[in-house]
Structure 1
């Protein structure tokens, strides 16, 4: 049976309130009594009930993180950045996945609010804004991670998605490709819209007319979805000579589709991803991709949350923080280029 403060109070011959003050290092107790109570607590292997404490104080030392899929290496890196930063300040992180499902996002927000997390970080798939507006009205410290909310000014940490997709598409065009397919995620999320805008901009600048048959959207970012969508693209006649994938996980699926259809990368199909997940460089044909610093983005988001928690709704807290990381094109063999470093393209 777990030791309670009542047990400690009985042995120490003091009230439960005195035990509570001693264990929480409150000033209104003499040092000798504090040390004696703490010694008894150690001897009894007392463990504080953090849930009960949070119910009493209406505060916790936990932060909520809502992401699409922890199995995706990009989101896993971000989660580690969040956790490492939170740990430095004595906070724990509770993580929930949405699988890019709107209803799952709303449920995750409600769950984390019900256990009174101190703040929320959210990679949102939800097209509506009511839940974000409500969090802002309730002064819940909130950071949107990877995706913005266009209708509401709130804290966010993102990559310059349009610029990254623009650089990748322009690179493929410079390699001589005109039939460039693009595999995107759910149409309702801002990072998808931004990367599509970058793709369109590069194509327009090159005078290449967009073809709807070369543009496909998936409902999630899993490799299996990338494989299905890549096969759809590659059945076109004429088929695309290059594919830009919204993320490396979708690119992995495209890689498998090309192999299943007997197409050689990069000789018959150039392939570019986005994220630069840790093992992209270790593919049989190393993946050209747009790097974004997942771990540092997670750290940056958590630092904002911790700052907002400390301010506690102070007037200084009213101004939203916007952090935009620069994308970096990482050129490897999958695109067919012989040049290995981005700086060779002086006009990027």
Structure 2
């Protein structure tokens, strides 16, 4: 037999009105007491009717999350952080994988609005930012995470991509590498452009000449494309001695290409990734990479959605988190060169 609101009230020792206020985010009830009532609801497996709430214009305690691909460890970690934070606050999350395809993005946005979600977190790329306008016109809270769409009046959670690229460039230049290749995601992504910009500036500050022919963007299959592009470079006589990859999946492709060519990592080739996903510790050798704080990013995205409920801000919030270079075994000083201290 399903639990009712009466069962929750009796078990928690409060009135039915108090339970209703907690469900709808209203009333002067302490955070501690709210959490106790949510715990009772979970223990009794009590589920308020989302459909009924939507029809009456009430909160549904659901959020939508749009990401490119749940199989990408970086976005899987973001999704887990969003889900954990949502669960902690009594929300359920609809996770949608879009493949950065505008048609799928548009369809998911429509479905999420039909389900009357309380807000949408967007972590996917899109060519036409106007697709978000119908959502924004309805005053539905929207937060971008790990993505930027300049010109849109929305809250954003990102890391300092420029600083991350700069860290990677300074590290490889400091190890004595001069001919360094770059594997990036789509040039349409602000994050990719900023990582390359930071990397280039660090290299040029170290006196290195920038070679645009050693920068390549990649398609949706990041491991496969990274491997193919790295193979092209490594097959030549004047091959690079290091590769900076704008995410860890591209770095795995580069590692595969190097091993197929019989190159030793890092003795013959240094590789730096970006994201610091779980894959970075599972590669052979473990991957030097620029870490993004995925847990904090997911939490902040949810918190910013909740901040928007019932509030009118004159300007959007932009949370910029700091990256960190994590040194492992895929990078080393160029043979014959002492690293710069």
TM range (shorter): 0.7 to 0.9
- Which residue in the other structure is 2:243 paired with? 243
**How many Å apart are 1:345 and its aligned residue?**
8.1
The farther-off stretch of 60-69 and 318-327 is: 318-327
Q: Are residues 225 and 213 of structure 1, via their aligned partners in 2, closer, same or farther at CA, if it must alter by over 3 Å?
A: same
1:106-255, aligned counterparts within 5 Å?
106-220=106-220, 222-255=222-255
* Alignment pair present for 1:336 and 2:332: yes
2:21, 2:112 → 1: CA distance?
A: 28
2:208, 2:18 → 1: CA distance?
A: 72
2:61, 2:212 → 1: CA distance?
A: 49
- Which residue in the other structure is 1:51 paired with? 51
* 3-state secondary structure, aligned to 1:286: coil
- Which residue in the other structure is 2:283 paired with? 283
Residues 70-92 of structure 1: CA deviation (Å, up to 9, x unaligned): 11221111111111111122110
Residues 187-211 of structure 1: CA deviation (Å, up to 9, x unaligned): 1111011111112212222332222
* 3-state secondary structure, aligned to 1:125: coil
Contact 1:221 1:250 in 2 (8 A): no
1:51-130, aligned counterparts within 5 Å?
51-57=51-57, 59-130=59-130
Residues 153-182 of structure 1: CA deviation (Å, up to 9, x unaligned): 421000100110111011101111111111
* 3-state secondary structure, aligned to 1:57: coil
Contact 1:248 1:275 in 2 (8 A): yes
1:46, 1:265 → 2: CA distance?
A: 54
* 3-state secondary structure, aligned to 2:278: coil
Residues 80-130 of structure 1: CA deviation (Å, up to 9, x unaligned): 111111112211000001122233222222221221111011013113221
1:156, 1:57 → 2: CA distance?
A: 26
Q: Aligned pairs, how many?
A: 305
Unaligned runs of 5+ in 1: 6-19, 27-44, 339-343
Contact 2:248 2:279 in 1 (8 A): no
**How many Å apart are 1:62 and its aligned residue?**
0.4
Contact 2:102 2:128 in 1 (8 A): no
Q: Are residues 71 and 21 of structure 1, via their aligned partners in 2, closer, same or farther at CA, if it must alter by over 3 Å?
A: same
1:263-282, aligned counterparts within 5 Å?
263-282=263-282
Contact 1:181 1:214 in 2 (8 A): yes
TM, length-normalised to structure 1: 0.80
1:113, 1:178 → 2: CA distance?
A: 51
2:132, 2:300 → 1: CA distance?
A: 20
Q: Are residues 135 and 57 of structure 1, via their aligned partners in 2, closer, same or farther at CA, if it must alter by over 3 Å?
A: closer
* Alignment pair present for 1:327 and 2:323: yes
Q: Are residues 49 and 152 of structure 1, via their aligned partners in 2, closer, same or farther at CA, if it must alter by over 3 Å?
A: closer
**How many Å apart are 1:213 and its aligned residue?**
2.1
Contact 2:176 2:333 in 1 (8 A): no
RMSD (Å), alpha carbons = 2.8
Contact 1:265 1:334 in 2 (8 A): yes
Contact 2:174 2:340 in 1 (8 A): no
**How many Å apart are 1:291 and its aligned residue?**
0.7
Contact 1:186 1:192 in 2 (8 A): yes
The farther-off stretch of 151-160 and 215-224 is: 215-224
* Alignment pair present for 1:318 and 2:314: yes
Unaligned runs of 5+ in 2: 5-15, 23-44
If you compute each CA radius of gyration, which structure gives the higher value, 1 or 2?
1
**How many Å apart are 1:21 and its aligned residue?**
8.7
